[in-house]
Amino acid sequence: MTWNENGGRLGEEFFIPGSSSFTEFLAAHRPELLSTRRVLPDGVVAAPGQVPHGTTVLALTFRDGVLLAGDRRATMGNLIAQRDLEKVHPADDYSAVAFAGTVGLAVDMVKLYQVELTHFEKIEGTAMTLNAKARRLAGMIRQNLGQAMQGLAVVPLLTGYDPLAPEGERGRIFSFDLAGGLYEKTDFHAEGSGSPYARGALKKLFHRGMDRREAALAALQALWDAADDDSATGGPDINRRIFPIVSVITEDGFERLTEPETEELSREMVEQRRGRPDGPNATA
């Protein structure tokens, strides 16, 4: 029942006590509005290379919290579908989500997740804990399983600042599988087609106690290594001034590094690569 159909009054469904989950409310009353509903008939699989896919995203903890970064490229097979895609988004004030996979469904899932967290806070009068946020996103991914099996997978990466965690461990990272399996990662993680190369770079560059600048440079180095070996991952585009998105979450909340700061760090990293094309050595 819409607003106009009911003469300007809310429908009865809005006054029935129930869950504080917005997605559960939609599933019960307007399931056709959920992007996680099956979009292809049974037995039909999306043709490879015909739907834009995004790669690569990564996260790592640092002294004051957690950093989340992503390249900007989306591909369709061997074609570049978009050069400046935004794969890193705030979920609320103290958490953020990045994605690899089917771009259209991923963007819708991120928007729905943002509404889900806001709706919960308005209904309950308090924000979800970080563990609850991770479980809620896992449930949304599980709802997308049918589409994932048809070639339309979405693989998010969730980060957050957890004031309830011990000092020095408040930046947390969660990854997921296609069935909604939830896994907490220690120190760093990456998703997407370039993730094996990004994780390899972070293995040698990561160390506990990094400051924000060190963490941002490590993330940019890892994305460079991913782009160096994975054609679906885009490196810094100096000529077009398109640079990776780098965001941090600390006790002060979510913050996306400004374009000038990201550009300055990217140019510094590129200059370092002129002297060492394979990247810096592991830290002692």
Residues acting as catalytic residues: 55
CB 163 within 8 A of CB 251: yes
Cβ–Cβ < 8 Å for 85, 74: yes
SS3 158: strand
DSSP annotation of 80: E
Determine the angle formed by the axes of helices 259-275 and 212-229, rounding to 10 degrees. Answer: 60
**Which residue, 140, 156, 158, is CA-closest to 21?**
140
Residue owning tokens 């972070």: 202
Q: Is 185 helix (H, G, I), strand (E, B) or coil?
A: strand
Contacts of residue 61, Cβ cutoff 8 Å, sequence gap at least 6: 67, 169, 171, 172, 173, 187, 188, 215
DSSP strands (E only) in the chain: 53-54, 57-62, 65-70, 74-76, 79-82, 88-92, 95-102, 154-161, 171-176, 182-185, 188-191, 245-250, 253-256
Other beta carbons within 10 Å of 183: 12
The two tokens of residue 100 are: 């690899």
Q: Strand 79-82 to strand 74-76: parallel, antiparallel, or no bridges (unpaired)?
A: antiparallel
In the numeric block, which tokens belong to residue 248?
């941090």
Measure the CA–CA gap between 100 and 82, rounded to whole angstroms: 14
CA distance 174 to 206: 18
Instruction: Tell me the two tokens of residue 94.
Output: 């103290």
